[in-house]
Amino acid sequence: MSRKPPEFQPGAILHEVIVGAFRARGLTFEGWCKENGLTTTNGRNAKTNKGIQKTIKDEPELFFPYNNGLSATADAVSCVRTDDGLAVASISNLQIVNGAQTTGSIHAGLKSAKEQLPQVFVQMKLTVVPPDRSEDIVPKISEYANTQNKVNAADFFSNHPFHIRMEQFSRSVLFPARAGERHDTKWFYERSRGQFINARAKLTPAQLKKFDLEFPKTQLFSKTDLAKFEFSAAGQPHIVSRGAQKNFAEFAKDIGESWSKSDAKYDELWYKRLVSKAIVFRWLETEVPKQPWYEGGYRANIVTYSMAKVFHDANGEKQVLDLDAIWRRQSVPEALQRALLLAAAEAHDVITHPPAGVRNMSEWAKQQACWNGMKGRTLNYGDDFETCLTLVDTAKAAKRDEKAKKAMTEGINAQAEVVTLGAEFWSGVLAWGRERKRLTPKDMQILEVCASMPRRIPSDLQARHALDVLGRVRDQGFGES
């Protein structure tokens, strides 16, 4: 027997489906609008929204031909057969990747033009994307769908595994309380715009107080902030000076290439050292305007150039800047403060005295030649600058310790997963693999240990190998009915 979906006004259908999908994911429609850069108060967005809302109010029957519609993705879509043909029954994990202006304007129309909404129709391109491919495909759909609009490069990179990992670290890694403070804190990494506001919006007053102690607003940073911290420390101040989006685009390219080769370096210690760079950068942003030589303007350029200079001079073959000491104390040591301000004064001089014929100092700061001039200057940081450095071998030892810690944690987790699955499950894997001749002698030996639990318990290495085998046989059809 065919089922007919309930009758809705066409304009209201979009609102009900979208708002319902957000509610199921613990989001608010307003929070989603902020996350997607949707504003109605100024600039291009205000002009676009007014035009869309005018069509809804004055010519609703022409909304369909005038509007570009929506591009959306989902994990799965189910349909039912009705008297009028196929109808969508449910959509899993609906995401609108292009159409924030349209969606927001229709939402506003519920108040300003409710009577006209029955005549409003909107076309939507809905792409079903397998969850295991969403990280690759969804950002590209968003990028290509937005070619007619100005969209920030940073918005396309938020689903990359690098950013997901940084977000995970930011929610779990505790940093020691600063001197004079009582609470350990975390740095909140905003992988997508609006996450911090949305996280606070759902809390009770008591929970909000606890959240603000755990995540101070001064320790909030975004993707473009991260790119500035990293490229300043890496000796790319001329690229940072080109602006947040251009700098991020270069940073994204570098991370993408590095990640594709190996993601192992981006571990918890890497994240902690990133926070050290953030502490240095933020301290400079606060202190540069207070200096007697500062005449106003070019603060952003001075900050990135002075940070880059100190990192460049500190990091050599035998010694490097002690970033681990910075994140442990959550502040910039006094000796390093003096070095940074010395470099800042020099950066101010380099930036505000361009070569003959160059009049635009901001453009001068974007040039490799400007950075070369800054690098070439000799600065006397003082004897106490040595206290800010550590031996390269010591820094590498900390990295080795972090790898060992990670390996141990992964091993424990692997053992726990193998034990939880149980001996009977592993007996089934062993039998399936043997029957189809898909197992090596080593595979069979380790699976026999897993199948004999609790008489024998696999080591952490054996457990990790067993899980690798499980992943392989599942790709070959194990577990499919």
What tokens were used for 247?
């700098």
The angle subtended at Cα 449 by Cα 447 and Cα 450, nearest 5°, is 65
Mean pLDDT confidence for 317-326:
93
Burial (0-12, 13-18, 19+ Cβ within 10 Å), 313: middle
Q: Which residue has the tokens 């001996």?
A: 423
| SS3 track for 395-454 | HHHHHHHHHHHHHHHHHHHHHHHHHHHCHHHHHHHHHHHHHCCCCCHHHHHHHHHHHCCC
pLDDT reported for residue 197: 92
Mean pLDDT confidence for 449-457:
91
Q: Which residue has the higher pLDDT, 309 or 145?
A: 309
The bridge status of strand 124-128 relative to strand 95-98 is unpaired
The bridge status of strand 220-222 relative to strand 188-190 is parallel
Distance of alpha carbon 136 from alpha carbon 299, whole angstroms:
37
pLDDT band at 209 (very low <50, low <70, confident <90, very high): very high
The bridge status of strand 85-92 relative to strand 95-98 is unpaired
Which residues 6+ apart lie within 8 Å of 222 measured at CB?
A: 154, 189, 190, 193
- Which residues are registered as beta bridge partners of 81? 86
What is the DSSP secondary structure assignment for residue 222, as one 8-state letter? E
pLDDT band at 311 (very low <50, low <70, confident <90, very high): very high
Which residues 6+ apart lie within 8 Å of 79 measured at CB?
A: 86, 87, 88, 89
Secondary structure class of 2 (helix, strand, coil): coil
Q: Which residue has the higher pLDDT, 102 or 457?
A: 457
Torsion of Cα atoms, 59 then 62 then 63 then 66, to 10° = -120
Q: 234 vs 11, 12, 252, 382, CA distance in Å? A: 51, 51, 14, 23
Q: Does 33 score more than 70 pLDDT?
A: no
If one counts every other C-beta atom within 10 angstroms of the C-beta of residue 78, the result is: 9
Q: Does 2 score more than 80 pLDDT?
A: no
Q: Give backbone dihedrals phi and psi of 5, rounded to 5 degrees, phi first.
A: -65, 155
Q: What percent of the chain has pLDDT over 90?
A: 45
pLDDT in tens, 234-282: 999 999 999 998 999 899 989 988 998 888 899 999 999 999 999 999 9
Q: Does 208 score more than 60 pLDDT?
A: yes
DSSP characters over 189-209: EESSTTHHHHHHHT--HHHHH
Q: Does 126 score more than 80 pLDDT?
A: yes
pLDDT reported for residue 29: 53
Q: Does 19 score more than 60 pLDDT?
A: no
End-to-end CA distance of the chain: 29
Inter-residue contact 99 to 35 (CB < 8 Å): no
Q: Does 10 score more than 60 pLDDT?
A: no
pLDDT in tens, 408-446: 777 788 888 899 999 999 999 999 999 988 899 999 999
Inter-residue contact 45 to 149 (CB < 8 Å): no
Which residues 6+ apart lie within 8 Å of 84 measured at CB?
A: 4
pLDDT reported for residue 96: 75
pLDDT reported for residue 178: 87
Question: Of 87-96, 337-346, 379-388, which range is least confident?
Answer: 87-96
pLDDT in tens, 350-404: 999 999 888 889 999 999 999 999 999 999 999 999 999 999 888 888 777 777 7
Q: Which residue has the tokens 């009049």?
A: 359
Secondary structure class of 344 (helix, strand, coil): helix
Mean pLDDT confidence for 331-354:
96
pLDDT reported for residue 21: 53
Q: Does 151 score more than 50 pLDDT?
A: no
Strands of 132-242, DSSP E: 188-190, 220-222
Q: 228 vs 178, 239, 306, CA distance in Å? A: 24, 9, 13
Most confident of 155-164, 212-221, 395-404: 212-221
Torsion of Cα atoms, 448 then 449 then 452 then 457, to 10° = -170
Radius of gyration of the chain (CA): 28
pLDDT reported for residue 134: 65
pLDDT band at 144 (very low <50, low <70, confident <90, very high): low
Q: Does 132 score more than 80 pLDDT?
A: no
pLDDT band at 149 (very low <50, low <70, confident <90, very high): very low
Secondary structure class of 14 (helix, strand, coil): helix
What is the DSSP secondary structure assignment for residue 106, as one 8-state letter? H
Q: Mean pLDDT of all residues in the chain?
A: 83
